[in-house]
Structure 1
Amino acid sequence: MYIRIKNCNNIDLGIVSLDKDVLNIKYAINGTGKSTISKAISKSVSDRVNGTNEIKDLLPFKLLGTDIMPEVSGCEDICSIKVFNEDYINDFTYQPDELLKGSFDILIRDDNFDNGVSEIETLVSKIKSYFLGNHEIESLINDLDELSKCLGKPTKTGLHKSSAISKSLGSGNIVENIPAGLESYKDFIQSDSNVKWVKWQIEGQGFLETSDNCPYCIHDVSDRKEDIKKVSQTYDSGTIQSLNKLLTVFDSLNVYFSPSTQTTIAEITGCIDGYTDDHVDFIIEVRDQVDRFNEKLKRLREIGFATLKDDVEIVEKLREYKVNISLYTHLNSELTRDKVAVINDEIDTLIESGGILKGKIQKHKRYIENLVAKHNDAINNFLRNAGYKYSVSLMEDANGVHKLKLLHSDLIDKEVSRAQNVLSYGEKNAFALVLFMFDAVKSSPDLVILDDPISSFDKNKKYAIIEMLFKHGRPFSGKTVLLLSHDFEPIVDMLYHHTDRFVKPSTAFLRNDNGELMEERIEKSDVRTFYEINNDNIGSARCLISKLVYLRRNYEILNSKGCGYQLVSSILHRNYPPTIKNEGTEREMIQEEIEEAVAEVRKVISDFDYQEAMDLVSSDDDIISLYVSSDSGYEKLHLYRVLSEREGAVATATVVMKFINQAFHIENDYIYQLNPEKYQTVPQYIIDECNAYVQSISLPS
């Protein structure tokens, strides 16, 4: 497909090709508009699918205030997209207890996982359905939880003093048994709003000292002040509230208690002087049975793969779920027996299909174990190949959920906590890219865009990432992927060196000429050493200066800096007579050395004439004429450099000179690269600076 981009940031108009089901590498120098391409495509798809208007954010500044809007067409077949860029990295969340947020959902939970769980859940569905949506059972579990809280945690001496039962019944039930002298308050103390009344009564006591009259009825209460004060001395809202809660829970659970237990509970809750030691023993016994019975119900409610996966003997495990009501004497009521009978019948039915259940559980366990091993190996192989000392492990927590943990070989217990604080910027990027890979594979978008994903890594790590993503059989192999990069190494590795390891990518060079975006295909034959490129260009260059520049580069590559090299350097630097520079010294070449140098150069450039070369570099007009007629940015740099070193030349921009100096030194080149005569690898802003300089010296003064 061909995607047409118009009026988006620095792209006035451009067409980007995209081959389906392969990796599309777009190699471009910085400033070409790689991120704009990524944003234009992703925002266009989002606008069409979600009905938004995000594409407007890409409107160039020069078009603000006009009716012109950004346009993207040609990607109508793309309905889903996943983009790795700086936004993805910045939004990446590291967790205190796991390396990657949502690692279980991304790395483990997939359709196969859900289907496996579903098959197991189908077999245990009858038992679970007895609990799910059963309001009575849910209320029973909640009431049992509440009763356990009211009775408090066990202590060596019996009942905890802070428990609801200790606070409300430790000194007797003073709601049911109203102390002498307070009988007249019975209706209030035993009302449903007794807690509010006690609060109100206590708060109102502050007015008793203001007057002998009641603050409400204005009757004289001077002889009753002691009785009024006795209410707050006897009652407090917290105690009554605890008692009310306790009595409500006991009342809700009464039908589940055996008759004798109901009687004893009524005796304890209605005692005048507080419970006895025998009562305490009884309460502890009830609490123990309540907790055990409640735990049984909760386990049955949660029965499934997570609770059965660690047991080899599934049938024996299922029998443990059955409830022996004879062991719960305090809960041995007719209603409890009826409910237990239903539960036990369902468990017996499940036991009959225990072999099938066991098989499905074991199959699902093997699937998870294989998935964990596969992901651990994939990530750790990448980390090892990239030279990181870190490793990862998908570890299962107490809830049966796998979380990706970060490990380090230098730690005794291996696990690294708070990865956010210890990982470097590059390491964070690497882990973010790992997550993105699995995330994108799981969501299976129509298009994956990688916006300069490897720019922050060294050569070894770059290859480790490319191999992790695109090697035969790896996650992105066979997917439609757009890789935007200013790194040439992926093209060299995948198109030239390791064609047996990777599916052949669709590769192109992007150039941006003052807003016009163009792409040129890159084939394997275009990936060459710079020595080969130099030899070709020496023979094909139209300009003698360019021929000499490429020859000089070959001398540098071969570290051959004899007379030929010295003569060519002198010509390009306009040194006449020619000189020999060596370890900080400089002297003029003698005639024999000049003749030797000319002969050496003619072995490569057969029609080379030294005087003709010097006449050419000495003529500003001739060089300017060559510059203006040249279509090659790299050739323009050759000519610009000669002009910039002429006598009396005004100093040029330091940024431009830095770029030129880098472009003219072999140590800044890749071993393999594209021919700069064919591919415009020189940034447009550099050419613009050169154009301005040449124009300034060619105008009449």
Structure 2
Amino acid sequence: MAEFTVSIFNCNSIDRAEIAIAEGSLNIKYGPNGVGKSTLARAIISQIRADGSLDELLPFKCRGKDGAGAPKVDGADHLKSALVFDDAYVQQFVFQKDEVVKNSFDIFIRTPEYLAEMAEIDELLSGIRKAFADSADIAQVTTDLKELRDAFGKPGKGGAIPKSSKMHKAFGSGNKLENIPEALKPFETFIKSQEPAKWIAWQVKGNEFLQLGDNCPYCSSVLSEAGKKDTALAVEKEYDASAVGHLNTLRAIIERLGAYFSEKCRENLEKVTKAKIELTAQEHSFLTGLKAEIDALIEKLEGLRTLSFFSLRDVEEVGDRLTPLKIDLGMMDKLDSDETRKTVDPINQQLDALIAKVGNLKGKINRHKSRIRKAIDENQDSINGFLRSAGYKYAVEIVPEPESYKMKLVHQDLSNHIEAATRHLSYGEKNAFALVLFMYQVLSEKPDLVVLDDPISSFDKNKKFAILHELFRGKASLRGRTTLMLTHDLEPAIDVIKSTSAVFQGAAPSAYFLSSRAGVIKEVPIARDDLQTFARICTDNIAALGDSICKAIYLRRHFELQNDMGEEYNLLASLFKGRAVPTIKWGGAVRDMTAEEKTSTEEIIRASYIPGFDYDALVAEVTDTGAIKAKFHATNVGYEKIQLFRIISDEHDDDVVRKFINESYHIENEYVMQLNPHKFESIPEYVIQECVRLLPD
């Protein structure tokens, strides 16, 4: 695999870092919290996306200082796209209100193969779409027809026009905009204006003030002459602003649609819309018939306009769906006009041409449905298999929507889909779902780099393996993708490099240990043999190290790990306490070792572990603060530094630091396998700095 190196400069706490990334492989970067892993991820992602966010990582120590180095990333210029999994991804993309993951249709169904098959179907439907596109007025005509249809309201008993409808309010009691009562003739200019409803509402609003005096509430002229007040009040009596508004709007729509009505229909509409009195039964019947024809035409136009794979997806016989869409104006006498035919005929011609090819269309639709079904089954089976193996009681279903497909969440104890899934899932369940869904998004978008920022440290051991298996071993997985996994959890490295490495060979994994000192991040490769039991680590270090005190540190741990608290352990424990006469704890009591016990124990240690072991000589070193300080400064291994520091002083006013030092001194067997602390710098820099600060002068 080709490998490239990314260099990061001046980002948050990082002055400089270099990390190697193997292309097409899983690159695990393991390190303790606080080493700067998330900053590494943010820096690389910011550089790839070129969105200006890299500048946000400028260290505080550089802000406001001339000549301070700006954040910089080298070696990633060939990467043009990236996807990152982190907490923000979970919040932004997963567990939307009505689907498990945002854009689930694009992720799981809308593949290049899907698009190619859709293009073939769309090509067969292109004639009808072109007919709609070539008709300049059809969009406005359809909108006007819908508004006119809606004005009729929901039909009442026997199909009657309800009195609450806009149509009845506008014309049911006669058109008083055309037929102004004699008493209101002085207001004719306003009543027949472009927006009479606004004037009527304005005029009526002032009526409440007429009782205050004899002057007009708007112009203050005298209204004392007989009848003037009555005339002003008559406007409110004769006209309703809302009804007038409906009338004015419908009149404009009818005028725009005029050419689409037959001549006879236009004549009848003229009578209805300008009638002086309430509509007759015949006029009601005419309007009801007109609505029925408008409904039919809209249904056919909309059916043709929206003709697509989705509208035909659930139809058993495509021909049976297409034939009824033909628009027969001979059956719509009220809408049968030259203008209507000019619009409808080209659409009908294209529909006839499509019906002639219905067998080809049906074949392509059925083939497309079959392939979509296969994709749905494969994706569902893969995800649900993972959920079962990880012990979750949830499953997913990809269901059809009117114009797409969506992934929904179900629970084994519930038959319906779960809406607002985020309210029902635990933190771990959300992350597990999100990781697997993220994988499918990667497979859909194919970014140059995939970044997993501490993805699985919150899970138990079984779920960690199930997730790793799904991500890098499953049929649909991230194998072959350039993936950077940043984690403070050693277990992924143990699984993919050592304990189950054969399972993950296809991901070509590598693992590195990250450590930080003085703002510089370094990485050390983790090989299979680096992952050892701590007992083996202790044995190797006892054999390899030259300093007897450091050897004794690991030997004491060795006995502790073996739960062997016999004379050898007690002698070493006494050594680090600086006791001239070693003690032994036996049966709950503590006593001094006899000379014979001390001598025989020294001989065992010399013969089996540390040649030349001399208790008295080592006690002299341990109690010599200057000698231990010298050893402290001589070693570059943080683990050994804190063991040496503890010999000098195990006191600290910070409970957290003291606990860290003391627990590192005793057994810290979080994993069956660990990294050798002599090779991999696992102690946080701040702890070492605290030890340095507290060393006696």
TM-score by shorter chain over 0.5: yes
Offset at residue 497 of structure 1 (A): 2.0
Q: Which secondary structure does the structure 1 equivalent of 2:565 belong to?
A: coil
Aligned to 2:403: 400
Offset at residue 343 of structure 1 (A): 2.6
Residues 460, 127 of structure 1: alpha-carbon distance in 2 compared, 3 angstrom cutoff: same
Aligned to 2:293: 289
Residues 241, 656 of structure 1: alpha-carbon distance in 2 compared, 3 angstrom cutoff: closer
Does 90-99 or 197-206 show the bigger shift?
197-206
Residues 436, 582 of structure 1: alpha-carbon distance in 2 compared, 3 angstrom cutoff: farther
Does 623-632 or 486-495 show the bigger shift?
623-632
Residues 170, 317 of structure 1: alpha-carbon distance in 2 compared, 3 angstrom cutoff: closer
Q: Which secondary structure does the structure 2 equivalent of 1:478 belong to?
A: coil
Aligned to 2:268: 264
Mapped to 1, the partners of 2:211 and 2:619 lie a distance apart of 118
Q: Does 1:632 align with 2:612?
A: no
Mapped to 2, the partners of 1:241 and 1:53 lie a distance apart of 53
Offset at residue 136 of structure 1 (A): 2.2
Answer yes or no: is the 8 Å Cα contact 1:495–1:504 preserved in 2: no
Q: Does 1:137 align with 2:142?
A: no
Offset at residue 295 of structure 1 (A): 1.0
1:275 to 270, 279, 294: 279
Aligned to 1:300: 304
Residues 633, 169 of structure 1: alpha-carbon distance in 2 compared, 3 angstrom cutoff: closer
Q: Does 1:80 align with 2:84?
A: no
Aligned to 2:544: 540
Q: Which secondary structure does the structure 2 equivalent of 1:132 belong to?
A: helix
What per-residue deviation string (whole Å, max 9, x for no partner) do you get for residues 225-255 of structure 1? 2445434322233332222233333333344
Percent of counterpart pairs with the same letter?
A: 37
**Residue identity opposite 1:425 in structure 2:** Y
2:649 to 644, 649, 655: 644
Answer yes or no: is the 8 Å Cα contact 2:106–2:444 preserved in 1: no
Q: Which secondary structure does the structure 2 equivalent of 1:416 belong to?
A: coil
Aligned length: 687
Mapped to 1, the partners of 2:251 and 2:347 lie a distance apart of 29
Offset at residue 145 of structure 1 (A): 0.7
Mapped to 2, the partners of 1:369 and 1:357 lie a distance apart of 18
Q: Which secondary structure does the structure 1 equivalent of 2:41 belong to?
A: helix
Q: Does 1:431 align with 2:433?
A: yes
What per-residue deviation string (whole Å, max 9, x for no partner) do you get for residues 196-241 of structure 1? 5544554565569744799769688713424454343222333322
What per-residue deviation string (whole Å, max 9, x for no partner) do you get for residues 410-464 of structure 1? 3x33422222333333333333333433333333222222222223222223222
Aligned to 1:413: 415
Residues 419, 584 of structure 1: alpha-carbon distance in 2 compared, 3 angstrom cutoff: farther
Residues 169, 583 of structure 1: alpha-carbon distance in 2 compared, 3 angstrom cutoff: farther
Q: Does 1:222 align with 2:225?
A: yes
Q: Which secondary structure does the structure 1 equivalent of 2:33 belong to?
A: coil
Answer yes or no: is the 8 Å Cα contact 1:446–1:480 preserved in 2: yes
Q: Which secondary structure does the structure 1 equivalent of 2:361 belong to?
A: helix
**Residue identity opposite 1:2 in structure 2:** T
Equivalent runs, 1:56-75 vs 2, <5 Å: 57-61=57-61, 64-70=64-70, 71-75=72-76
Aligned to 1:687: 688
Mapped to 1, the partners of 2:654 and 2:524 lie a distance apart of 30
**Residue identity opposite 1:368 in structure 2:** I
Aligned to 1:467: 469
Aligned to 2:37: 34
Answer yes or no: is the 8 Å Cα contact 1:40–1:58 preserved in 2: no
Residues 64, 335 of structure 1: alpha-carbon distance in 2 compared, 3 angstrom cutoff: closer
What per-residue deviation string (whole Å, max 9, x for no partner) do you get for residues 552-582 of structure 1? 3332333333333333333333345333335
Aligned to 2:390: 386
Using the size of structure 1 for normalisation, the TM-score is 0.89
Q: Unaligned regions of 5+ residues in structure 2, if any?
A: none
Offset at residue 293 of structure 1 (A): 1.7
Q: Does 1:316 align with 2:320?
A: yes
Mapped to 2, the partners of 1:215 and 1:224 lie a distance apart of 18
What per-residue deviation string (whole Å, max 9, x for no partner) do you get for residues 637-670 of structure 1? 332222226xxxx656533331123223435331
Offset at residue 281 of structure 1 (A): 3.3
Aligned to 1:587: 591
Mapped to 1, the partners of 2:29 and 2:218 lie a distance apart of 88
Mapped to 2, the partners of 1:169 and 1:44 lie a distance apart of 67
Equivalent runs, 1:570-585 vs 2, <5 Å: 570-582=574-586, 584-585=588-589
Offset at residue 28 of structure 1 (A): 1.4
Offset at residue 84 of structure 1 (A): 2.6
Mapped to 2, the partners of 1:440 and 1:196 lie a distance apart of 57
Mapped to 2, the partners of 1:280 and 1:30 lie a distance apart of 79
Q: Which secondary structure does the structure 2 equivalent of 1:345 belong to?
A: helix
Q: Does 1:371 align with 2:375?
A: yes
**Residue identity opposite 1:24 in structure 2:** N
Mapped to 1, the partners of 2:476 and 2:42 lie a distance apart of 26
Q: Does 1:524 align with 2:533?
A: no
What per-residue deviation string (whole Å, max 9, x for no partner) do you get for residues 4-41 of structure 1? 22332222233222222212222112222212222222
**Residue identity opposite 2:42 in structure 1:** K
Q: Does 1:241 align with 2:238?
A: no
Q: Does 1:4 align with 2:7?
A: yes
Aligned to 1:511: 515
Q: Does 1:20 align with 2:23?
A: yes
Aligned to 1:494: 496
**Residue identity opposite 1:494 in structure 2:** V
**Residue identity opposite 1:574 in structure 2:** G
Answer yes or no: is the 8 Å Cα contact 2:13–2:59 preserved in 1: no
Using the size of structure 2 for normalisation, the TM-score is 0.90
What per-residue deviation string (whole Å, max 9, x for no partner) do you get for residues 474-500 of structure 1? 432112222221111111111112222
Answer yes or no: is the 8 Å Cα contact 1:95–1:101 preserved in 2: yes
Q: Which secondary structure does the structure 1 equivalent of 2:468 belong to?
A: helix
Q: Which secondary structure does the structure 2 equivalent of 1:456 belong to?
A: coil
Answer yes or no: is the 8 Å Cα contact 1:41–1:75 preserved in 2: yes
Mapped to 1, the partners of 2:288 and 2:522 lie a distance apart of 83
Answer yes or no: is the 8 Å Cα contact 1:121–1:304 preserved in 2: yes
Q: Unaligned regions of 5+ residues in structure 1, if any?
A: none
Mapped to 1, the partners of 2:657 and 2:442 lie a distance apart of 41
What per-residue deviation string (whole Å, max 9, x for no partner) do you get for residues 500-519 of structure 1? 22233232222212122222
2:178 to 169, 176, 179: 176
Offset at residue 87 of structure 1 (A): 3.7
Residues 197, 362 of structure 1: alpha-carbon distance in 2 compared, 3 angstrom cutoff: same
Mapped to 2, the partners of 1:523 and 1:215 lie a distance apart of 93
What per-residue deviation string (whole Å, max 9, x for no partner) do you get for residues 268-296 of structure 1? 33333211234333322321221122111
Mapped to 1, the partners of 2:289 and 2:570 lie a distance apart of 104
Mapped to 1, the partners of 2:405 and 2:308 lie a distance apart of 17
**Residue identity opposite 2:318 in structure 1:** I
Answer yes or no: is the 8 Å Cα contact 1:309–1:365 preserved in 2: yes
Mapped to 2, the partners of 1:201 and 1:87 lie a distance apart of 57
Mapped to 2, the partners of 1:143 and 1:239 lie a distance apart of 19
**Residue identity opposite 1:8 in structure 2:** C
Mapped to 2, the partners of 1:514 and 1:596 lie a distance apart of 46
Answer yes or no: is the 8 Å Cα contact 1:545–1:638 preserved in 2: no
Mapped to 2, the partners of 1:431 and 1:405 lie a distance apart of 12
Aligned to 1:155: 156
